Amino acid sequence: MRPQDREEVAVGSESVGRPASAHGQVGSLALQAEPEGPLGSPEAVVASPEDLALVYEAGVEPEARSQWAYARIRFFRHKLAVVSLFVLIGLGLVAAFAKQIAPYGFDELDLFNTTASPTLEGKHLFGTDLLGRDYLSRVLFGMRTSLWVALFVAFLSTAIGTSIGALAGYYGGVIDNLLMRFTDLVLTLPGFAVLLTAAAFFGTSSPLKVAVILALLFWTAIARIVRGVFLSLREKEYIEAAKASGAGDMRIILRHMLPNSLGPIIVNTTLVVALAILTEAALSFLGFGIQPPNPSLGSLIQQGQGEGTRLWWLVTFPGLTIVAIALAINFVGDGLRDALDPTQRRVRA
Amino acid sequence: MLAFIIRRLLYSTVVLVLASFLVFTFVTYSGDPLAALRIAPNVSQLTVKNVIERKHLDDPIPKRYLYWVQDAVTNQFGSTLLDNRPILPELWRVMKNTLQLVIAAQLLVIIFAVLIGVYSAIRQYSPFDYTATGFSFLGLSTPVFWLALMVQVIVVQIFEHTGHRLFPIANLSDVDPGTGLHFWIDRAHHLVLPVFVLMVAGIAGYSRYMRAAMLEVINSDYVRTARAKGLPERRVMMKHALRNALIPLVTLVALDFGAILSGAVITETVFSLDGMGLYFYNALLVNDPYPVMAWLMITAVMIVVFNLIADIAYGLLDPRVRLD
């Protein structure tokens, strides 16, 4: 048994208790919904037997809904995920407009007010550090760096992983073999240690470099997931039909298979954002990530740790911010999985 | 079975050699380990030249790789770059400390995770289940290093306000730990906080996994059969469900070995525990490729061995899986 086969072995049934309805592959119907040929109905109707029975009894026409509408309904049923989504949007806006919102610059010194403790009345809500820099402002700017890195990592690793996974899953053969051998190679070495080594020797002078290093390690997981989905989609009848009607490889991959694998891809991209935030923080904390004067949440904790046991706020606030972001993303990811990907259940260790 | 083991070991050896070459190339190509030495005012050019000569730093990388392989095979991974200290004996020494930490944490993690996971699955959607799920999300979202620091902060704050010294927040032993039983009591006292930190993330992940595995088994046909033939619920759960739900966990624990060692890097750094993680971290700080290579290779060999054990265990425990 090869390591990658294990993923399928032991997956739990998180979905037990979910109303059984006719949710098939996400997006397959959304694809049909595009008014393309004479056969494509403008709006595909999906209804479970229970729904139809209800409709029959009530004597009303069922409302036409696309598969994405169903996904949206399922997502909004997950209250925690919805709340988390709003929290995330709020934090994202604050981070994006940190320059306008933060009361001070991240490197503005207030030498009369060094090591001030957090206070609700005074000028410094989160206190100040050893040089009198306002800690709330530093946390806001740190959040901006961390979120930027995490989003970049998620985007880059998803782009690389999806392309390679799609090619490997569709064509098989040499690309597939290379991908799987490379995965073996990566799986043989302890991931975080490799990351540390890369960061230590390659250098992390700019946030961009940190992001690239993270992305280069994270793409394999997505590639394997996409490959798995493509391998199973390849055998589907509608792909055969597309081939029979003369569609080219690129068209089949981009228009038929990719939309059908969007569910797992979106879910995993979300989880990569959380993973990237945590990993970047750990790297920066160990001194191999974002370098000063750029504040990131991890490097703030690193700079605060020397005095951390006395000036507790230096460690507490950036850390709480990380936890809040990661928690919100994980909840959103959970909601998205329920909504988009009912077949896949998460196994995380 | 034997053929499977041999083939796997051969394949792994090839992968390891390839990985070592890639990492070596990367590490030697991208950094100048002598940068600090060159600008140090009290170091003569002769010293720098000696180091270059001793480590063949002027040769092309493939040749240096062969020198490294020779050192690794015949000379216990050679010595460190600057102060020429032997690597392997030092690694064995710190590995013992890391294993104490990791094994203690891992045993506790498994016990708690199985208890929580199984109970959550049996009482699915109960208040306990929701609470456990909430805590595991929290655990998975908390950075290990931050948790470690917060634990230190709390212990220090308690000391400052009440004068109680609950637990030591650094090091593996007191300056004078004594011998025999006293030594081990002191060691256990020092390990409480690091083990706790390692446990949080571990329990968060494993209990979710255990819950999922248990749910899958509970809803399977053979458990229904066991119930249908009138077995008491307790017996169904313990004998029919739990045993089968544990099989994937066995694999996961073995597979996670590498991740656990990596995780110990952070914990050991924060608590300054003299283990493998801190050794690795210190080698990275001085940009010394040789201990880094040795560390990565030894960990990689352990990962390969544990993966093999995982597969063999799976084959033995689950007769549906055939190793061939």
Q: Is the pLDDT of residue B4 over 60?
A: yes
At residue A36, the pLDDT reads 37
Nearest Cα residue to A274 out of A216, A223, A234, A332? A332
pLDDT one-digit tens code per residue, A316-331: 899 999 999 999 999 9
Q: Return the number of other C-beta atoms located less than 10 Å from residue B156's C-beta.
A: 17
Q: Is the pLDDT of residue B101 over 80?
A: yes
Tokens standing for residue B302 = 């352990």
Look at A201 and B287 and tell me if their CB atoms are within 8 Å.
Answer: yes
At residue B105, the pLDDT reads 92
Residue B31: which pLDDT band, with cuts at 50, 70 and 90?
low
At residue B305, the pLDDT reads 87
Cross-strand partners of A134: A128
Q: What is the pTM of this model?
A: 0.82
Look at A323 and B30 and tell me if their CB atoms are within 8 Å.
Answer: no
> What does the alpha-carbon distance between residue A261 and residue A274 come to, in Å, rounded to a whole number?
21
> Is the separation of the CB atoms in B324 and B312 below 8 Å?
no
Look at B252 and A193 and tell me if their CB atoms are within 8 Å.
Answer: no
Residues 252 through 291 of chain A touching chain B, CB cutoff 8 Å: 274, 278, 281-282, 285-288
pLDDT average, residue stretch B288-315: 87
Look at A10 and B211 and tell me if their CB atoms are within 8 Å.
Answer: no
Task: Find which of A2, A4, A6 to mutate to test the B interface (most B CBs within 10 Å of its CB).
Answer: A6
Give me chain B's average pLDDT, please. Answer: 86
Which residues of chain A are within 8 Å of residue B296 when distances are taken between CB atoms?
A: 189-190, 193-194, 197
Task: Find which of A9, A197, A216 to mutate to test the B interface (most B CBs within 10 Å of its CB).
Answer: A197
Residue B192: which pLDDT band, with cuts at 50, 70 and 90?
very high
> Is the separation of the CB atoms in B92 and B317 below 8 Å?
no
pLDDT average, residue stretch B186-191: 90
Residues 287 through 326 of chain A touching chain B, CB cutoff 8 Å: 287-288, 298, 301, 305, 308-310, 312, 315-316, 319, 322-323, 326
> What does the alpha-carbon distance between residue B276 and residue B93 come to, in Å, rounded to a whole number?
9
Please list the ranges in chain A whose pLDDT falls under 50.
Answer: 1-44, 344-349
pLDDT average, residue stretch B28-37: 71
Look at A196 and B251 and tell me if their CB atoms are within 8 Å.
Answer: no
At residue A50, the pLDDT reads 64
- Alpha helices, DSSP H, located in chain A: 6-9, 28-32, 49-58, 67-77, 79-96, 98-101, 135-171, 173-188, 191-202, 207-233, 237-244, 249-251, 258-285, 297-308, 313-340
Q: Nearest by CB to A319, from B143, B206, B303: name it.
A: B143
> What does the alpha-carbon distance between residue B98 and residue B298 come to, in Å, rounded to a whole number?
14
- The C-alpha of A185 sits at a distance from chain B's nearest C-alpha, in angstroms, of 6
Q: Nearest by CB to A309, from B152, B205, B213: name it.
A: B152
Return the minimum-mean-pLDDT range out of A139-143, A322-326, B22-26, B29-33: B29-33
pLDDT one-digit tens code per residue, B268-277: 999 999 999 9
- The C-alpha of A99 sits at a distance from chain B's nearest C-alpha, in angstroms, of 26
Look at B248 and A9 and tell me if their CB atoms are within 8 Å.
Answer: yes
Q: Nearest by CB to B145, from A285, A326, A346: name it.
A: A285
> What does the alpha-carbon distance between residue A174 and residue A10 come to, in Å, rounded to a whole number?
29
Look at B266 and A286 and tell me if their CB atoms are within 8 Å.
Answer: yes
Question: What domains can you pick out in chain A, each with its CATH number?
Answer: 3-58 (no CATH), 69-344 (1.10.3720.10)
pLDDT one-digit tens code per residue, B209-227: 999 999 989 988 999 999 9
Task: Find which of A188, A273, A314 to mutate to test the B interface (most B CBs within 10 Å of its CB).
Answer: A188
Residues 146 through 185 of chain B touching chain A, CB cutoff 8 Å: 146, 149-150, 152-153, 156-157, 169
Which residues of chain A are within 8 Å of residue B17 when distances are taken between CB atoms?
A: none
Q: Nearest by CB to B143, from A278, A308, A310: name it.
A: A278
Residue of A nearest to B218 (CA): A13
Residues 44 through 103 of chain A touching chain B, CB cutoff 8 Å: none
Look at B143 and A286 and tell me if their CB atoms are within 8 Å.
Answer: no
Residues 125 through 184 of chain A touching chain B, CB cutoff 8 Å: 181, 184
- Burial tier of B102 (Cβ tally within 10 Å: 0-12, 13-18, 19+): buried
> What does the alpha-carbon distance between residue A289 and residue A214 come to, in Å, rounded to a whole number?
10
- The C-alpha of B62 sits at a distance from chain A's nearest C-alpha, in angstroms, of 18
